[in-house]
């Protein structure tokens, strides 16, 4: 009756299965207070709008899952560190259980908090639930973080061991007396006036939605993953990124499921390995951000500090709004705005366009993605933008400039992806859909396309812009 409770602090581990901190909290045999503190700067940076949309639904799913197990989610809001200290004080909790966050600011906060609590006789217990390996655990023989992906990928799968898989607990013993908290509605995470999220309805945030997404992927996409993952006109990707970001599923579960399918002969082994390589890129980003905390704000290769980025508000606006006149770029930017997600191949194309064709600083793109993506993640977002810019670790060279026309023709050959997201071009035949300005006037007229009227003319000439970018690169070497 006088059992002191323990606190389970949910953060980026919004699931009940495969949750080591939860399992450990339950094993104490004490009442478990399941808490979520809404701190918009939980990972050190104000949460983007699309992420907030996702969090809203994921928290509701988690709260419902807890209710079904005799527990409930205690929601509070404010500075995470302060609120946890208050909660510990209020509940006289003996222990704090959490799964670690690896963003440098969050890591430092958690370390500080653990120290503070220790001084009050409260023990903090940290676990890993979100990355395949603890950042820093997989390193070179010299003890350095890997700066090249391929050897990192090899070492990761060589050294990291799968986490024990755990079913969600049937029952969670809650606190003896009811806890006060706030309603998820009051967090106002869902957009209002205007509600721009009407196109987000294909997503099912939460643990159950994550497991459905994994099953869909294993059944329908894994067998052709390595080729189809590059095709925005197909459902060839896993679409697991937001689920992974919020910790609704364990990356080890994903990797193991894919390899099990390969071992069972259901899919070629190479396909499963391709998926594992993508999980390893996520992991590579996490360990890079840990080793280089300024990855989201500073060029990893400081030679890029000399790059003469253009100040071009009109160009940036055309890019964000999907009005560049390059159909594959505009389709991607509109898909992002409408659904909170963009196909990975198209992310590379639009990023190359912003950085190289428009010669706009990659940080502008990083910021836009941060606000618009449901899978916005400090590590992946920073690493991938720097990868395209050429300023990152093991990055694509700057002179690798995507041609938005040939990329479109190669990866969206019939133009179906463009037609879906740029409906004003829908009637244009495949021959012209990726370069409408070269279409004969008769064809444009027949398709109801008026360049500069119903659809913009290209805001830059690619060949000219390409040379401008290469000149800008040369100038940094002077």
Partner DNA sequence: TGAAATGTTGGGGCG
Partner DNA sequence: ACGCCCCAACATTTC
Say whether 362 is catalytic. Answer: yes
CA distances from 72 to 42, 114, 118 (A): 21, 24, 26
Cis peptide before 348 (omega within 30 of 0): no
- Structural element, H or E, at residue 272: helix 269-291
Of positions 114, 168, 208, 470, contacts DNA by CB under 7 A: 470
Q: Name which position in 86, 126, 281, 371 contacts DNA (CB under 7 A).
A: 281
Q: Identify whether 421 is a catalytic site residue.
A: no
Query: Is residue 286 close enough to count as binding DNA by CB under 7 A?
Result: no
> Which position among 9, 107, 149, 304 is part of the footprint of DNA (CB under 7 A)?
149
Active site residue 344: yes
Cα(109)–Cα(259) distance, rounded to whole angstroms? 36
Residue (of 210, 184, 178) closest to 14 by Cα position? 210
Question: Closer to DNA at the Cβ: 100 or 345?
Answer: 345
- Looking at 35-165, list the stretches that DSSP marks H as alpha helix, in order from N- to C-terminal side: 49-67, 80-91, 104-119, 149-159
Q: How far apart are the first and last CA of the chain?
A: 75
Q: Which is nearer to DNA, 57 or 245 (CB)?
A: 245
Check if 278 is active-site: yes
The residue written with tokens 């890591």 in the block is 107
Asked if 397 is part of the footprint of DNA (rule: CB under 7 A), the reply reads yes
Among 304, 403, 417, 419, binds DNA (CB under 7 A): 403
Nearer to DNA, 240 or 473 (CB): 473
By CB under 7 A, tell whether 474 contacts DNA. yes
Calpha distance 343→68 (Å, rounded): 35
Let me know if 251 is exposed, middle or buried by CB neighbors in 10 A (0-12, 13-18, 19+). Answer: buried
281, 298, 437, 443: which one is catalytic?
281
The smaller minimum CB distance to DNA, of residues 94 and 344, is found at 344
Among 57, 76, 245, 462, binds DNA (CB under 7 A): 462
Burial of 81 (0-12, 13-18, 19+ CB in 10 A): middle
- Using rule CB under 7 A, residue 218 touches DNA: no
One character per residue 415-454, x = contact with DNA (rule: CB under 7 A): ----------------------------------------
Shortest spacing between CB 154 and DNA, in angstroms? 14
Q: Please give the residue ranges that form the binding site for DNA (CB under 7 A).
A: 149, 278, 281, 344-345, 348, 396-397, 399-403, 406-407, 410, 462-463, 466, 470, 473-474
């Amino acid at each position: 009756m006088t059992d002191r409770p323990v606190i389970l602090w949910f953060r980026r581990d919004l699931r009940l299965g495969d949750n080591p901190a939860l399992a450990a909290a339950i094993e104490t045999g004490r009442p478990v207070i399941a808490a979520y503190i809404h701190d918009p700067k939980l990972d050190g940076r104000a949460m983007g709008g699309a992420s907030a949309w996702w969090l809203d639904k994921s928290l509701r799913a988690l709260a419902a899952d807890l209710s079904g197990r005799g527990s409930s989610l205690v929601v509070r809001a404010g500075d995470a560190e302060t609120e946890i200290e208050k909660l510990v004080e209020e509940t006289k909790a003996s222990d704090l259980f959490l799964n670690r966050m690896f963003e440098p600011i969050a890591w430092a906060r958690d370390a500080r908090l653990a120290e503070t609590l220790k001084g009050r006789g409260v023990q903090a217990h940290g676990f890993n639930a979100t990355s395949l390996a603890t950042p820093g655990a997989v390193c070179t023989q010299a003890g350095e973080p890997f700066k090249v992906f391929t050897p990192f990928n090899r070492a990761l799968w060589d050294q990291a061991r799968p986490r024990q898989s755990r079913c969600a607990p049937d029952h969670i013993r809650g606190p003896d007396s009811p806890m006060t908290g706030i309603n998820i509605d009051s967090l106002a995470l869902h957009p209002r006036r205007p509600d721009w999220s009407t196109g987000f309805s294909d997503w099912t945030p939460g643990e159950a939605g994550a497991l459905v997404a994994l099953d869909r992927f294993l059944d329908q996409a894994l067998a052709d993953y390595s080729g189809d993952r590059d095709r925005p006109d197909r459902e060839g990707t896993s679409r697991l990124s937001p689920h992974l970001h919020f910790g609704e599923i364990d990356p080890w579960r994903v990797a193991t499921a894919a390899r099990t399918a390969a071992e069972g002969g259901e899919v070629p082994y190479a396909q499963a390995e391709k998926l594992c390589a993508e999980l390893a890129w996520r992991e590579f980003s996490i360990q890079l951000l840990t080793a280089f905390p300024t990855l989201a704000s500073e060029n990893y290769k400081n030679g890029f500090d000399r790059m003469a980025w253009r100040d071009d508000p009109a160009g940036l606006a055309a890019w964000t709004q999907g009005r560049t006149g390059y159909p594959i770029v505009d389709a991607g930017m509109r898909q992002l705005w409408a659904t909170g997600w963009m196909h990975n191949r198209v992310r590379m194309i639009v990023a190359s366009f912003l950085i190289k064709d428009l010669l706009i600083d990659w940080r502008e793109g990083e910021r836009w993605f941060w606000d618009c993506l449901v899978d916005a993640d400090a590590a992946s977002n920073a690493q991938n933008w720097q990868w395209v810019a050429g300023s990152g670790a093991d990055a694509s060279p700057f002179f690798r400039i995507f041609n938005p026309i040939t990329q479109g023709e190669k990866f969206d050959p019939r133009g179906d992806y463009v037609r879906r997201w740029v409906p004003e071009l829908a009637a244009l035949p495949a021959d012209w859909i990726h370069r409408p300005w070269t279409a004969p006037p008769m064809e444009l007229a027949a398709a109801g396309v008026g360049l500069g009227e119903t659809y913009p003319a290209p805001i830059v000439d690619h060949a000219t812009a390409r040379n401008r970018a290469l000149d800008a690169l040369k100038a940094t070497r002077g």
